[in-house]
Amino acid sequence: MFTGLIERPVTWVALAGFMGTGKSRIGWELSRALALHFVDTDKLITRVVGKSIPEVFAQEGEAFFRACEREVVGRVTRLDHAVISLGGGTFIHEENRRVLLERGPVVVLWASPETVYQRTRHSERPLLRTEDPLERIRTLMDEREPVYRQGTIHVHSDGRPSEELVEEIIERLWSWSDVHRAWPAEDAERPAEGVLVGDRAPD
Ligand SMILES: Nc1ncnc2c1ncn2[C@@H]1O[C@H](COP(=O)(O)OP(=O)(O)OP(=O)(O)O)[C@@H](O)[C@H]1O
Ligand SMILES: O=C(O)C1=C[C@@H](O)[C@@H](O)[C@H](O)C1
Ligand SMILES: [Mg+2]
């Protein structure tokens, strides 16, 4: 009767961090490892708007893209059984951050500017379309660093294969969920009804 039950630390988790830190790739692999659905907010926006991210920035403007992000954050925080990979700027906006952190753990992936540059140089990121993308990465990363620090769990990705990162994230999520079970008063403050964050929820 109990065969097929899946033990997991969480049934919802989001990945944040700078461009190129691996949110999309690691999020996808984490979702496979935890047998959860996968949602990439950048991909969701491109699908709904019907344009690529560079097209959205160029034709609709960044403010429109940020409004889409806010809308998508509202939706993905109502999901369960999902790993959510955010865009690089999603967690920077205060209201998004508040809603996400209230919903569940936010894992922040980190990488050095040089690694980010290497990982993003062959694909188009509108914010990095400048004469000197590496300098832009350094400046933007410095600006955003204090905000990313507000995430729940922090994982460095430089020079590490994705399997190792997924393994570390899962271990850290178990520790996080153990603490949450030990301090139920904290859970009582949460508004989301019927949400099983922190439970070893069977399917
Ligand atoms: N740990 C890793 N080791 C080597 N390459 C990686 C690693 N993580 C991600 N990559 C590669 O780096 C590139 C960027 O990764 P990815 O698209 O997942 O970043 P992202 O954080 O989602 O960026 P964005 O914020 O722009 O969406 C991809 O080609 C991906 O395969
Ligand atoms: O860091 C950012 O602000 C961005 C990161 C990407 O994921 C995309 O969401 C977009 O290119 C903007
Ligand atoms: Mg991504």
The reply to whether ipTM tops 0.90 is yes
Model confidence at 4, pLDDT cuts 50, 70, 90, reads low
For residue 202, pLDDT beyond 70: no
Model confidence at 197, pLDDT cuts 50, 70, 90, reads very low
> What is the rounded average pLDDT of the residues 103-128?
96
Contacts 24+ apart (CB under 8 A), 92-99: 92/144, 92/147, 93/66, 93/69, 95/70, 96/69, 96/70, 97/147, 97/150, 99/73, 99/74
How far does residue 94's CA lie from ligand 1's centre (Å)?
24
Q: Which residue has the higher pLDDT, 158 or 193?
A: 158
Per the prediction, the chain carries an average pLDDT of 90
Pocket probe mutation, ligand 1, options 21, 116, 119, max atoms within 8 Å of Cβ: 119
Can you name the CATH fold of 12-178? Rossmann fold (3.40.50)
Q: State the closest ligand 2 atom to the C-alpha of 54, by its place in the atom list counted from 1.
A: 11
| Percent of the chain with pLDDT strictly greater than 90 | 83
Q: Which residue has the higher pLDDT, 11 or 201?
A: 11
Nearest CA, atom 5, ligand 1: 119
Parse the chain into domains and list their residue ranges. Answer: 12-178
How far does residue 68's CA lie from ligand 1's centre (Å)?
22
